[in-house]
Every structure is written in C-alpha cells, then in structure tokens.
C-alpha cells in the first residue's frame, strides 16, 4: 500500500483524493497515537487552516474526528503553518493540525500534523498513525462529558504576533517593503508583523476569497512582486506561499534573492551577533554550490541533508545548530520556532538591512549562484539506476572533471519513474554538456 504521508503531511485534491471521510479518520488515528489521554487529563489539539475554500470543510471534518475521540479542540482560524506549530506549544496541546496545501493551487489541500511542542512528526510517528488508520483501529468513543469540546481562540493571532516581535531587536524604521501574501494565510498577520516592527508596508495579493490562493502570486510567481517593488521604489519585496512557511525576496532593482542567498545573509548576520551555533549552517543537497563556496570563504561550515525541511529540522536538533533551510525559502530558526517561518525570515532579513544600512542587493552579493542544469530522465526502474555501476562510474568521472568548481547530484523522483540529473559548473555550457552526458548514461540503464 502506498504511503499516505508525503514529505510534508497528507496532500491531495480536496474532495477528490483528500475527502472529509479520510480527514476524520486521520484525525482520529492521530488522536489515538499522539493524544491518548489518561489519568483524568483531557487531551487538547490546536487546529488552524489557510483560507482556501475547502479548508472550511476539512477543518470541520478534522475537528469532528478529534472531538469524537475525546480531544478538546482549540480552533485558531486562518493563520500560517508556523503559527499553528507555535501555538501548539503555547497552548500546551498534545498535537496540532494545519489544513493547507502550502504553495499548491487552490483545488488541492493538505493536512499537516504536529506533535506536542509543535514539532513535525518523524517517520516512526507517521507510520504509527498510518497503521492505526489502515488497520481500522477505532479511536475511543467517549460519551457524555467525555466528548471533546471546541473553542475558538480569540487571542491566537495576537499571541503569534507577540512571538514574532520578540524574535527581533532592531527597529525597521526607514525600510519600505512590498509583501506578496499569495492571498494566503499571511494576508493579515504578515503585514501586521512587519508594520509593528517599524517597516513601511505595501501589501499585495492580500485579499483572500477562498479561491485565489497562490493564483499567479506568492513565492512561486514572483513577477508581480518584482514589478511592484520597482514601481513603489521599495527597499525590497518579500514573497510568501499559501501557508507562509516560505519566504523569498526581491531586491530594490527587482532581482530575485532566493533561499540560498537569504541563508547566506542570515548566517553572516547571526555569526556577527554570536548567534550561529557551532559556526554552522544546515542546508539540503539542492542548495547551490555557490552557497557552500560563500560560506567556506566566510569560515562557516555547511552541513548538508536530504531534500525536505523535516530533514533540516532533524539535523538542527541533532547538532544543536541555530540556522538551516532550503533554497525554496523554508528557513528555520530553532531558537524561535519548530518549523520554517516565512514571516520571521522576512523580519530577520530586514533587521540585517536596518542594522547595517546596506541594501539587500549588496548583502546578497556575498554569494554567487553557479549555473545549474536539471535534466529529468524517464527510466523503467529508478532503484536499479541508483545501484548501477556504469552510472556510478559516469558520476565519478564528471566529479573529477568539475573538481571544486562544480557539483553533480542524481536524485530519484519520489512519485514517478524519473531520475533527476542536476549539474552545477562555473559556465552554463559546461554544466549542460556534463548533464546531457550523464542523462544518456542513465537513460541507457
């Protein structure tokens, strides 16, 4: 049976693959595993969502599944994913549930589950929840006073905003920012957080109607943000995704500053403030070699993990590090949160601008991205490709050819019979030539 959980929760087309029946059953299974109760204590869950229309339906189903299992529900309404994670700890809940499909289009939706303290689930916890679901384990069905109660947390947004305010110390007076909220969960709290910190805020794509989330806007569609930054003469632009756990940036000229460049700026900022523990940054294998070279030149070590912010989080906890993230804009500050927080990232980035009086373009110039070529190769057996000697030899030869000025990464798709061949080199033509050569070897297996 295919695994239900993906790299970031359970996701699918709302009312298609992701039905209200599945949402109720998943909530019940999560209650069984994460909130067993006992000793007279009533278990508690925090439930939030992004503003897509299907979120209303799925929120009702998740809430019903939890309450039917005897779990009291604290409904926090439309808030970013990192807010739900934070509030899970703040309200001392046994688990948290965020209903969102992040950067996916409106017809999709998803269910992200957090353990106590707002931590993402590890593989073992997800496996236990799936087993409870697939094995037909029926959650406890209390009656009378044992049925879970549902209350709305009127102070949820204020608590999250206060948390964000405590994470920065330099006022953002004089910084003008355009914020693209993707018509998503950041539409209210994002501009509010930036304004409270002292920035002059111009909000765009901040009028969610349930249907327009991520529609030609946000971190996956930066064109409108680039144009707006230039038109308003702003110092920078910030682009969030639907659930605001990502942040990408645009400098005053309209040039995109991706997650790698943001991490480089923040790593140097934290190093200078004595906050970069072990002088180490955690990144994934998809981060550009330019990030590694820039950090090496600055005396900062980069620890590399697999794709997915959950693996970044695991390494941050294991090594006691203080900064990590992905090229896509998921940036994690363990001292301030248990998951990627796009609004916090925006605040810390602007704090560096304000503290140094330096433009974002000049700050980001510490890193130069090397040309990167990605070729998707259709194969009959991606597992066989990974074990093939001819492929291994071809990769080794390419790595010798590139030396310290390039990089090779072969990564099987998680959902398709594809192998992704990624090559970085100092020149576009060289990267393309090496990628094409490796793709032919992979295709021949």
Same fold across 10-156 and 372-443: no
Right CATH for 167-364 from 3.40.190.10, 3.20.20.140, 3.40.50.800, 3.40.120.10: 3.40.120.10
Nearest CA to 239 among 226, 248, 230, 229?
A: 248
Q: Are 109 and 11 in contact (CB under 8 A)?
A: yes
> Residue 188's pLDDT band (boundaries 50, 70, 90)?
very high
d(CA 113, CA 287): 26
Q: What is the largest CA-CA distance in the chain?
A: 71
Task: State mean pLDDT over 40-44.
Answer: 87
Whether residue 1 has pLDDT greater than 60: no
d(CA 362, CA 359): 5
Task: State mean pLDDT over 161-176.
Answer: 96
3-state secondary structure of 285: coil
> Residue 415's pLDDT band (boundaries 50, 70, 90)?
low
> Residue 38's pLDDT band (boundaries 50, 70, 90)?
low
| Three-state SS annotation for 204-262 | ECCCCCCCCCCCCCCCCCCHHHHHHHHHHCCCEEEECCCCCCCCEEEECCCCEECHHHH
- Predicted pLDDT at 442: 92
Whether residue 192 has pLDDT greater than 70: yes
> Residue 2's pLDDT band (boundaries 50, 70, 90)?
low
- Predicted pLDDT at 309: 84
Right CATH for 10-156 from 3.40.50.720, 3.30.200.20, 3.40.120.10, 1.25.40.10: 3.40.120.10
d(CA 61, CA 175): 43
3-state secondary structure of 340: coil
Whether residue 230 has pLDDT greater than 60: yes
pLDDT digits (tens, 9 = 90+) for 351-402: 999 999 999 999 999 999 999 999 999 888 888 888 889 999 999 999 999 9
Q: Are 30 and 95 in contact (CB under 8 A)?
A: yes
- Predicted pLDDT at 3: 76
Q: Are 184 and 238 in contact (CB under 8 A)?
A: no
Count how many Cα atoms sit within 13 Å of the Cα of residue 338 in the half-sphere of its side chain: 20
Q: State the helix-helix crossing angle for 20-34 and 54-68, rounded to 10 degrees.
A: 40
pLDDT digits (tens, 9 = 90+) for 116-157: 999 999 889 999 999 998 887 677 889 999 999 999 999 999
Nearest CA to 159 among 213, 108, 209, 86?
A: 86
d(CA 275, CA 271): 6
Quote the DSSP letter at residue 287. S
Q: Which residues are identified as catalytic? A: 102
Quote the DSSP letter at residue 320. T
> Residue 308's pLDDT band (boundaries 50, 70, 90)?
confident
Residue ranges of the annotated binding site for Mg(2+) are 102, 241, 243, 245
φ, ψ of residue 261 in degrees (nearest 5): -65, -40
Q: Please check whether the domain covering 372-443 is classified as CATH 1.10.287.1260.
A: no
d(CA 307, CA 319): 18
pLDDT digits (tens, 9 = 90+) for 70-109: 999 999 999 999 999 999 999 999 999 999 999 999 999 9
Whether residue 339 has pLDDT greater than 70: yes
d(CA 292, CA 176): 30
| Cα dist from 109 to 11, 26, 172, 207, whole Å | 6, 14, 35, 19
In terms of pLDDT, which residue wins out, 24 or 309? 24
Pair of tokens at residue 111: 């269910």
Q: Let me know the angle formed at the C-alpha of 32 by 30 and 33, rounded to the nearest 5 degrees.
A: 65
Whether residue 63 has pLDDT greater than 60: yes
For β-strands 95-99 and 44-49, DSSP reports them as parallel
Q: Rounded to a whole number, what is the distance in angstroms from the first to the last CA of the chain? A: 27
Task: State mean pLDDT over 241-270.
Answer: 98
Buried b (16+ CB within 10 A) or exposed e, 21-52: ebbbbbbbbbbbbbbebeeeeebbbbbbbbbb
Domain ranges of the chain: 10-156, 167-364, 372-443
d(CA 78, CA 326): 25
Q: Which residues pair with 111 in a beta bridge?
A: 10, 99
Residue ranges of the annotated binding site are 102, 241, 243, 245
d(CA 269, CA 246): 19
């Amino acid at each position: 049976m295919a695994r239900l959980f993906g790299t970031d929760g359970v996701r699918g087309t709302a009312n298609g693959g992701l039905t209200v029946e599945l949402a109720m059953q998943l909530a019940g299974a999560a209650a069984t595993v994460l909130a067993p109760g006992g000793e007279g204590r009533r278990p508690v869950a925090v439930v939030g969502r992004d503003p897509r229309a299907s979120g209303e339906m799925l929120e009702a189903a998740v809430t019903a599944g939890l309450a039917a299992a005897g779990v009291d529900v604290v409904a926090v309404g439309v808030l970013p994913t990192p807010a739900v994670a934070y509030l899970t700890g703040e309200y001392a809940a046994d688990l948290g549930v965020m209903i969102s499909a992040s950067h996916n289009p409106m017809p999709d939706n998803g269910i992200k589950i957090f353990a106590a303290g707002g931590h993402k689930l590890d593989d073992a916890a997800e496996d236990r929840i799936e087993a409870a679901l697939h094995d037909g384990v029926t959650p406890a069905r209390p009656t009378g006073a044992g049925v879970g109660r549902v209350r709305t947390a009127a102070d949820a947004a204020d608590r999250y905003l206060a948390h964000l305010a405590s994470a920065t110390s330099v006022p953002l007076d004089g910084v003008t920012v355009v914020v693209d909220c993707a018509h998503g969960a950041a539409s209210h709290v994002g501009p509010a957080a930036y304004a409270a910190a002292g920035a002059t805020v111009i909000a765009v794509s901040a009028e969610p109607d349930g249907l327009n989330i991520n529609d030609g806007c946000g971190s996956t569609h930066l064109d409108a943000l680039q144009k707006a930054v230039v038109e308003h003469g702003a110092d920078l632009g910030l682009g969030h995704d639907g659930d605001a756990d990502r942040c990408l940036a645009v400098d005053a000229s309209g040039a995109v500053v991706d997650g790698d460049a943001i991490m480089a700026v923040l790593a140097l900022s934290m190093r200078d403030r004595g906050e970069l523990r072990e002088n180490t940054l955690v990144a994934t294998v998809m981060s550009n070699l330019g990030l590694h070279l820039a950090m090496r030149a600055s005396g900062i070590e980069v620890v590399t993990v697999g794709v997915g912010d959950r693996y970044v989080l695991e390494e941050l906890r294991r090594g006691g590090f203080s900064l990590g993230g992905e090229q896509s804009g998921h940036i994690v500050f363990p001292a301030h949160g248990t998951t990627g927080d796009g609004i916090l990232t925006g605040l810390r980035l602007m704090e560096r601008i304000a503290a140094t009086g330096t433009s974002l373009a000049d700050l980001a110039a510490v890193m130069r991205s090397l040309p990167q070529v990605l070729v998707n190769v259709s194969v009959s057996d991606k597992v066989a490709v990974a074990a093939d000697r001819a492929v291994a030899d071809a990769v080794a030869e390419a790595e010798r050819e590139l030396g310290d000025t390039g990089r090779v990464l072969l990564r099987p798709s998680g959902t398709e019979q594809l192998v992704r061949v990624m090559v970085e080199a100092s020149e576009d033509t060289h990267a393309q030539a090496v990628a094409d050569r490796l793709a032919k070897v992979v295709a021949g297996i």
